[in-house]
Amino acid sequence: MDKPYTGGCACGAIRYSIAGEPLFSNHCQCRDCQRESGTGHGSYATFARAGVTLTGDAKHWDMVADSGNVKTRGFCAQCGVPVYLTFAAMPDIFTIRAASLDEPARYKPQVVTYTARGHDWDRLDPDLQTFEGMPPG
């Protein structure tokens, strides 16, 4: 069995363990991710929801994505750290923020999304495939 991906918030009030490998890993340069991260992009790994064990009580913040679908951001009420996202239109996936991993070096981005909203000062790996929005399904 592969080693699970583990992580959580800065204070430890929220923890997760995820069996399996990411289905998708990306840097996202949309304005929502820029605002939430306080920088030019957010970095995410998306997994099958079935492999996720989550402990602790997260606060949730719903927002409407460009697609019109609701995405919910889970963050710690104690330390304020954003930890994960879920999507109403895709209940079978669970997305974590790469920086929340206990071993962030395990994160391997595949693509950069929403480059149309990126900034010149946010320089990402030029070898990654890029998409002006989300890649086609």
57-100 pLDDT, tens digit each: 999 999 998 778 899 999 999 999 999 999 999 999 999 999 99
Q: How many domains does the chain have?
A: 1
CATH code for the domain in which residue 56 is found: 2.170.150.70
Q: Is residue 130 part of a domain?
A: no
The helix (H) or strand (E) run that includes residue 36 is: helix 31-37
Is the overall model pTM greater than 0.75, yes or no? Answer: yes
Q: Report the alpha-carbon distance of residue 37 to residue 29 in Å, rounded.
A: 10
pLDDT of 1 strictly over 80: no
Report d(CA 35, CA 33) in Å as an integer. Answer: 5
Would you say residue 99 lies in a domain? yes
- Report yes or no on 74 lying in a domain: yes
Kindly state the tokens that stand for 26. 């990306």
In a domain? residue 131: no
Q: Which residue has the tokens 């918030």?
A: 9
For 15, counting Cβ atoms within 10 Å of its Cβ (0-12 exposed, 13-18 middle, 19+ buried), the class is middle
Whole domain around residue 106: which residue ranges? Answer: 5-125
Assess if residue 134 is contained within a domain.
Answer: no
